[in-house]
Each structure stands twice: as structure tokens, then as C-alpha cells.
Amino acid sequence: MKHKIIPLLWSGLASILLVLITGFVFKIEGFTALKSYGEEPTYKVYALDLPDTLSFAGEKVPLHSPDLRERLDRELLVNTYWQSNMMLLLKRANKYFPTIEKILIEEGVPIDFKYLSVIESGLENVVSPAGAKGFWQIMRNTGREYGLEVNSNVDERNHIGFSTKMAARYLKKAKDKFGSWTLAAASYNLGMSGIQRNLNLQKVESYFDLRLGQETSRYVFRILAVKEIIENPSKYGYIFEDSDLYYSVPVHYHGLDTAISNLTTFAQKMGVNYKILKIHNPWLLQNHLNNRSRKYYEIAIPEKGYY
């Protein structure tokens, strides 16, 4: 047995040594990608203190009843502790909010609606299973109804400027109908007819008094939770510096009313490659622009020195 004991002893000593070395290595400054900001990285799950007051688009949110507080608590917990997603939203918000805010102000829509685009798409040009597209998740027929060009060659639902203007037009129409920005926000999820039908059936006038399906019931509270966290990130444990955030690349616009036979060649003439051109013009779907109608387009070209 003796000859078996010695290897076991060496094995045990090696394991202990490995643990000690590993523990030492992970404390070497700069070895980890986590920014501790002078504190040891820790992970604990806490219950959240709900805010005493909340508002959306200038409308006070009632937080007096248990069901409303529980609905808010749910969305705050889900979004606070989905840390990777929320950190990405904080970074993207810094990049895209200035553009969205400017358009909302110009259109006469409260800038709180920028948070609606956050919960719809995560500030990405995504496509839903139902076929909704873009930051504002616009359906094909709705986009066309509001004047967006939507076909196999061009899809302006992916144009942050045009789609934000379209969403603003819808929201103003809903506000005129219901007299409430909160109900206008809910109608973006359920539709104006759906909201009106439920108001008539339940004989109430407020979103917060309606009993709705789970998705629309959560919808406005999801907006409220995202707004609360993005406006108070450190309160919810999100620590970062300005340099950690994403920033928009300055662009200038090349206007034209003719077709482009090859976008790769066009991009090279503009001093960029095809990938960069598509990053800044996601509404161009193919490697060419048909433009049989001689429509005037403006194509975003990044300023030199950023790529």
C-alpha cells in the first residue's frame, strides 16, 4: 500500500497548490474583465424598494393598490436582474436616444416614449415572429398605411428617423382618441380598437383600471421599469463610466434620385465598404437600389476616421 500512498499525497498537495495559485492569479489586477471600481465584485440578490412616485409622459402613475405595485415590482425585478440585457440597453440608449428624442420633440410627442422603443426592440432592427420590424416593431401594412416604403428592396421600417416619425404619428392619433398618453402607449401593443373595446366593456377610463391580457397588462409597467432603471442606473446596481457607453458615428448624407446598380461599388466610391454602408443604412435590403420611380433618397455616409 505504501507505494500507492505517496502518489496520492503528491496528488493532494498538487491540488492544494493549484487552488492557492488560482486564488492568487484571479486577484492580480487587470486579469479579470470585470470593472470593480475599487470594490470587490460580489453578487447578491436583493428585494427592491419601489419608488414612491412615478410618472409617464407627464401622467402620474397610481401606486396605491396591491395589484399595481406587484405589477411594477415584477417588471423592475425582471429588468434589474437581467443584467447583461440592461447593461446593453444602457449603452445603446446613449447612442440612439438623442436621435429619437429630437424627432419626438419635433413631432410633439413626450420623450418618455423613447422607452417604448426600448421594450419593443431593445434598440435594434429586429424582426418579430409576426413580421414586425425595426426599433418600433412596425407591421408591414401599418408601415405602408403611414407612408413608409416597404418592399423587397427598401424597408423604411428599419430607418430610425422615418420609423420614429411614423410611431409618433400613431401615438398622437391614439392620444387624440383616448385623451391619455398611457392609453396611447397601451394601444401600441393591443391596437386602438382593442383598447376602446375593453374600455367600453369594463366601463372605466384609465389603463390602470383595465383588466387586460398578460402582454398588454405588463406592457406599460415594462416601460415604466425600463425608464426608472435607465434614469437611475446606480440605484439599481449598474456602474459604468461614460467611456463604457456606445456613441453614434457622425454622418453626412448623399442625396440621389437615381438607381444604384451595385451598392458595393457605390460604397467604395463613398470611401467605405459594403458592411459599413449597410450598418448606417439598414433600410437598404439588397445590393442595389431599384428606384424606378426616381424617388429622392438620402444615404448616410460616415465621416472619415471612425472606421
What pairing do the DSSP bridges indicate for beta strands 59-60 and 55-56? antiparallel
So what's the pLDDT on residue 37? 72
pLDDT at residue 6, as a whole number: 43
Q: What is the DSSP letter of 249?
A: P
240: its cell numbers: 459604468
| Cα 15 to Cα 20: distance, rounded to the nearest angstrom | 9
- List of residues 6+ apart from 259 with CB closer than 8 A: 288, 289, 290, 291, 292
Q: How far apart are CA 44 and CA 48, in angstroms?
A: 12
Euclidean distance between CA atoms 174 and 178, whole angstroms: 6
Backbone conformation region of residue 137, classed left if phi is above 0, alpha if psi is from -120 to 50, else beta: left
Residue 193 cell numbers, joined: 380598437
Burial status of residue 241 (CB atoms within 10 A of its CB: 0-12, 13-18, 19 or more): exposed
Residues in the chain: 307
**Tens digit of pLDDT at every position of the chain (307 positions):** 444 444 444 445 444 444 444 443 334 444 556 676 776 666 788 899 999 999 999 999 999 999 999 999 999 999 999 999 999 999 999 999 999 999 999 999 999 999 999 999 999 999 999 999 999 999 999 999 999 999 999 999 999 999 999 999 999 999 999 999 999 999 999 999 999 999 999 999 999 999 999 999 999 999 999 999 999 999 999 999 999 999 999 999 999 999 999 999 999 999 999 999 999 999 999 999 999 999 999 999 999 999 9
Please answer whether residues 286 and 278 qualify as being in contact, where contact means their C-beta atoms are separated by less than 8 angstroms: no
Report phi then psi at 251, rounded to 5.
-135, 160
What gap in Å lies between CA 133 and CA 135, rounded to an integer? 7
- CA 51 to each of CA 202, 220, 231: distance values in angstroms, whole numbers, following the listed order: 29, 16, 12
The letter for the amino acid at 37 is Y
pLDDT of 33 reads 66
